[in-house]
Amino acid sequence: MTKKFLPPSEEPSGSEEPASNDGTSPLSDEFTGEFSNPVKFPITDVLDLHTVSPRDAEAVVEEYLHECYRLELTAIRIIHGRGIGVQRVMVRKVLERTEFVVSFGDAPMEAGGWGATIVTLRRR
């Protein structure tokens, strides 16, 4: 999956050290407008899709579910927001076709209500 981002408003002066390309930085050694390495972040029991581009959201949810399953997390929450329901529908379609999903439904009001989905995963 390739992520695009907006270039900084100022060009690098060249005096800074180049970003490491060892997987710790999402930037390549040469500015291309794309990430050359996957963006890594810790997997917790909550995924907030507000920070994910809508075009990438489905792939992110699928990968998140597989990582949660691999890590043996069994109760997770996916925050998709209330909006007009497009993200909610997409999340639930992914959940319906994922074999290790046991159940899912709206989160309790104090955990996001219909703006979040609570998911139960099967143990490995």
Q: CATH number of the domain at 51, please.
A: 3.30.1370.110
Q: Which residues make beta-bridge pairs with 118?
A: 77, 105
Residues 31, 61: one domain? no
Residues 50, 110: one domain? yes
The model's pTM is 0.69
Residues 60, 109: one domain? yes
Give residue 40's pLDDT band: very low, low, confident or very high (50, 70, 90). confident
Residues 101, 71: one domain? yes
Question: How far is the C-alpha of 32 from the C-alpha of 35, rounded, in Å?
Answer: 8
Q: Are strands 46-48 and 116-121 parallel, antiparallel or unpaired?
A: unpaired
Residue 84 pLDDT exceeds 70: yes
Residues 84, 109: one domain? yes
Range of the domain at 75: 46-121
